[in-house]
């Protein structure tokens, strides 16, 4: 990835974002670390040294997103890559029992937050004639499962928005990739089950899931290819995960 120098990563305080920041810094690239947990950002930035700049904000806050992008220090301002990683799932209840507040939070973060960051960064990329938007989707956007309702719908948005961006950006030399992981063990389930760590372990029992470093390596692969190559979508699963059979309710 010799041509790329500066990468902004949302949700860099844990999981995929944190692992990607470390990998990029290891290869000599500058990273702008963003997230809500300032203490974690500061710790990671200290670890990565002068290659990192951290800014704490919530991607759901459009004004904060715009102010952050506009106010980046000169050495970090010309963003080559945006990794829209911030996102979450909340709850696993069926739709008729789900918490509306959880639905709102997922829509505001996974959809609106991604839109705000993309819209803030794109004009600079287009004007410079280069760039790469990487959106972190999920197999939940393609394959439904009980309790996935709004989370899966938000990730379906990520998939289609990424493809539509490709159509809009034709001829601008700005690439767009949607990376869509399956079972991966991070803080994802802890957040989904609102801090219940024992419950969060359930999806990973008896199976080797993917880990954050696997997704970070995939992101790095996609953005490392020559500028004339665009990876549209990468769908990835743990080897011991596959598609469920059609469900049939029998009375």
| Active-site choice (143, 145, 151, 220) | 151
Sign of the dihedral defined by the CA atoms of residues 138, 241, 20, 171, in that order: negative
Assess contact for 118 and 221: CB atoms under 8 A.
Answer: no
Chain centroid offset of residue 155 CA? 10
Whole-Å CA distances, 104 to 21, 35, 89: 28, 19, 11
- How far is residue 246's CA from residue 145's CA, in Å, rounded to a whole number? 10
151 is catalytic: yes
φ, ψ for residue 78, nearest 5 deg: -85, 85
Q: Kindly state the DSSP code that residue 143 receives in the 8-state scheme.
A: S
Between the alpha carbon of residue 165 and those of residues 94, 160, 223, the distances in Å are: 32, 9, 16
Q: How far is CA 130 from the centre of its chain?
A: 20
Q: Which tokens sit at 94? A: 């069926």
Closest alpha carbon to 161 in 135, 132, 183? 135
Distance from C-alpha of 76 to C-alpha of 6, rounded to nearest angstrom: 6
Catalytic residue numbers read: 151
């Amino acid at each position: 990835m010799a041509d790329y120098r500066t990468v902004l990563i949302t949700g860099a305080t844990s999981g995929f974002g944190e692992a990607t920041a470390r990998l990029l810094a290891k290869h000599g690239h500058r990273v702008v670390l963003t997230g809500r947990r300032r203490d974690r950002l500061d710790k990671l930035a200290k670890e990565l040294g002068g290659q990192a700049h951290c800014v704490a904000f919530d991607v759901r806050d459009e004004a904060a997103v715009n102010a952050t992008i506009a106010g980046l220090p000169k050495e970090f301002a010309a963003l080559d890559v945006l990794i829209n990683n911030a996102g979450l799932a909340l709850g696993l209840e069926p739709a008729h029992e789900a918490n509306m507040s959880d639905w709102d939070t997922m829509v505001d973060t996974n959809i609106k937050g991604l839109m705000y960051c993309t819209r803030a960064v794109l004009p600079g990329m287009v004007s410079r004639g280069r760039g790469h938007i990487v959106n972190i989707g999920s197999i939940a956007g393609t394959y439904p499962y009980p309790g996935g309702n709004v989370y899966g719908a938000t990730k379906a948005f990520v998939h289609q928005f990424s493809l539509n961006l490709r159509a809009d950006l034709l001829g601008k030399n700005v690439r767009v990739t949607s990376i869509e992981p399956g079972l991966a063990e991070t803080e994802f389930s802890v957040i989904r089950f609102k801090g219940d760590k024992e419950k969060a372990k359930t999806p990973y029992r008896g199976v080797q899931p993917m880990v954050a470093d696997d997704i970070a390596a995939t992101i790095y692969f996609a953005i490392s290819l020559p500028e004339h190559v665009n990876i549209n979508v990468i769908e990835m699963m743990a080897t011991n995960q596959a598609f469920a059979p059609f469900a049939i309710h029998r009375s």
